[in-house]
Amino acid sequence: MFSRLHEPINTAWDARAFHYLQFRLKGNSMDLKKLLAGIGMLTLGATVALAAPAPRAVLHGSAPSWANSRNFVADADPAGSVGFRVYLGWVNPGAAEALAKAVSDPSNAAYGHYLSAQQFRAQFSPAANALAQLKNWLKSEGFTVEYSPLNNHYVSAEGTVAQAQAAFGIQFANYLVRGVTVRSPTGDVSVPATIAPLVSGIVGLDDSYEFVHTNHVVDAPPVGGFRNSPPLSAFWAQQVSPYAYPAGFTDRANPPTAPWTVKGYTPDQIKGAYGIDGYDGAGQTVAIIDAYASPTILADVNQWSTNRGLPTMNPSQLVQIVPPGVYNRPQNKQQDPQGWSTEETLDVEAVHGMAPAAKIVYVGAPNNRQDLDAAMNHVVDRHLAQIVTNSYGFITELLPPGYIKPMEDTLIQAAIEGIGVYFSSGDFGDETVNFGFATTEWPTSSPWVTAVGGTSLGIDAHNLRALETGWGVSNYNCNTSTLVCTRTAWTSGAGGGVSVQFAEPDYQRTAGLNLTGRGVPDVAALADAQTGLLMGQTQTFPDGVHYDEFRIGGTSLASPIFAGLMALVDQKSGHAHGFANPLFYSNPAAFYDVLSVKTAVARRNFVNSVDATAGTVDRLRTFDDHSGSPTQHTGPGWDNVTGLGTPGVAFLSLLGQ
């Protein structure tokens, strides 16, 4: 964690003080050497006292690990713009964390006695004079102060790189990381010692937000439109391929060869498989946080709803909000606005499919993933919903603590207010395939969120669970003449593992998990793109722009499915469930224990992603395959692919227990 206190600097001739002075002199007509010579003469003569620069303090851990000499490209352009947020910590943070635990623990007398947002601010928000002190300092450094939320959690400001270098006493540079050029301070930043005790973290001085990614899988998403090629079954094993199951994936003898994939499951099929019936989410509100916003979202979700026999939505039921205090930057291809539009559409349709009468509040960061932390704070501080689903994450936990601490504070406020926050666990297993070592994602590794893993789900003709197992997939290319299928690579799977950032929380320790850190995920839902949701979206095809439907998966599907089902739990109980992990771990019987089933399905792909004019190719895709994620397994009890499991027969009665 980010230590708020901060090493004072010896300002006499400390190197950082020298840099600080150097930055201050940039643009000044006085030559630095002459000034230093003058200082020497004054010192030797001892006739005039020179005021020492004000003491400064280093914010340890504020620089990302990728800002190093190996990745260095060039110094940053001092005229470049920078937008950032300086976060303040809660007053009496220990008491805030203790209260968050108490109101979330079913065995505690305070369980469910949540504070309102106003009550939280009165007890834990930073004082107005502390906020004013921070704002005044930022203004004195030449920054434009943009916004502070009602809970005084941060001050957002904008300026130039030159101003940031001077204010924070460190140079900025560009670095090449994973093929992307990103900017960062070259080391830990510093602030005046009088300001340091106020600061819990700074978000935005470096470009770590470039490594945020969505967790949806369309199977090599195209630049334009996408369609699934037939054969496509309406339910599990309706149509059967001629391809034999791969070696090691023969747990299912019926059908005798691999079934073709489904067209995509509907909400009725998914809820039927999970035994959910009788509730529609009326009176409940679910927030969705993403970046950007789809311009066709209302039309798309209503066409999709009509096709599914669901009620359509109106602008008062589907509300889109861009929170204040975020930054509208020129479009960056790396940030993939098209991918985020698909993410929003998937999230909205999945929540609406599970809880068609619930209100959905979509909160988007406009054209900049840097602002996802501000979007979360806005939802929590304004109490816009009692459930929040998030389908994005950083691909490791290896982030500057200044990124992590502010979000953790926001999540503690969410728990105190009775807001349940859900995060997708990731789509690349334990990330070994990407990094060569196992790591969980963040924020899904936070002990204050419910991490949602993923499964492969077969649903029969009667909307019942035919099979369900952990999501992990390898690809096999199939020869249509010889019917021989050859493995190419492991492609994807539910994120999971053990955090190195957070200790094992009480709710996992008392459940007997005995892990070395916080275990991910907590629960699971349908995620495999081979057995995914049939979603609809306006897309660009060779013949024009129009609505169409395709099958999609990822833990980006699992999280909104689970959030939508929790809206039904709240509707049935008559009150919000809040931070649910202590409740979940004390009621494992409410979940279907997902076990290992080694099997496979066949699929046919359009080569050009939209039609057969360029031909088709056949593939096999495995289930419960963790060959590319060696620390994972699916098995009895909690596991690091599906957590406690998926909704079971007692799921809707969770809050009555």
383-398 tens-digit pLDDT: 999 999 998 888 788 7
Residue 1 vs residue 232, higher pLDDT: 232
User: pLDDT digits over 513-553, tens only?
Assistant: 999 999 999 999 999 999 999 999 999 899 999 999 999 99
Confidence of residue 21 (pLDDT cuts 50, 70, 90): very low
Backbone angles phi, psi at 503, to 5 degrees: -70, 160
**Given a cut of 80, is residue 490 above it in pLDDT?**
yes
Summary mean pLDDT of the chain: 87
Tokens of 323: 């929170």
Q: How far apart are CA 550 and CA 218, in angstroms?
A: 8
- For the chain, give every domain's residue range: 7-90+125-206, 217-656
Measured from the Cβ of residue 573, the count of other Cβ atoms closer than 10 Å reads 14
Report how far apart the first and last C-alpha atoms of the chain are (Å, whole number).
35
Q: Computed from CA positions of residues 301, 306, 307, 310, in that sequence, does the dihedral angle turn out positive or negative?
A: positive
Helix (H, G, I), strand (E, B) or coil at 497: strand
Task: For residues 147-172, give the mean pLDDT.
Answer: 96
pLDDT at residue 212, as a whole number? 61
Q: How far apart are CA 94 and CA 98, in angstroms?
A: 6
Q: How far apart are CA 566 and CA 286, in angstroms?
A: 9
Spatial strand order in the sheet of 72-75: 72-75, 172-177, 180-185
**CA distances (Å), 450 to each of 202, 396, 523, 603, 644, in order?**
25, 17, 7, 32, 11
User: pLDDT digits over 548-570, tens only?
Assistant: 999 999 999 999 999 999 999 99
What CATH number labels 217-656?
Answer: 3.40.50.200
> In the chain, pLDDT over 70 holds for what percent of residues?
86
pLDDT at residue 324, as a whole number? 62
Least confident among 39-53, 111-125, 210-224, 422-436: 39-53
Longest dimension (CA), the chain: 97
pLDDT at residue 43, as a whole number? 31
User: pLDDT digits over 201-218, tens only?
Assistant: 998 898 877 766 554 444
Beta pairing partners, 530:
none
- Tell me the CB-side half-sphere exposure of residue 10, using CA atoms within 13 A: 4
**Helix, strand, coil percentages for the chain (3-state, nearest 5):** 30, 25, 45
β-strands 420-424, 387-390 pairing: parallel
Instruction: Calculate the CA dihedral of residues 511, 517, 518, 522 and round it to 10 degrees.
Output: -60
Q: How far apart are CA 321 and CA 293, in angstroms?
A: 9
**CA distances (Å), 280 to each of 268, 363, 421, 568, in order?**
12, 22, 20, 6
Task: For residues 367-383, give the mean pLDDT.
Answer: 82
User: pLDDT digits over 601-645, tens only?
Assistant: 999 999 999 999 999 999 999 999 999 999 999 999 999 999 999
Confidence of residue 223 (pLDDT cuts 50, 70, 90): very low
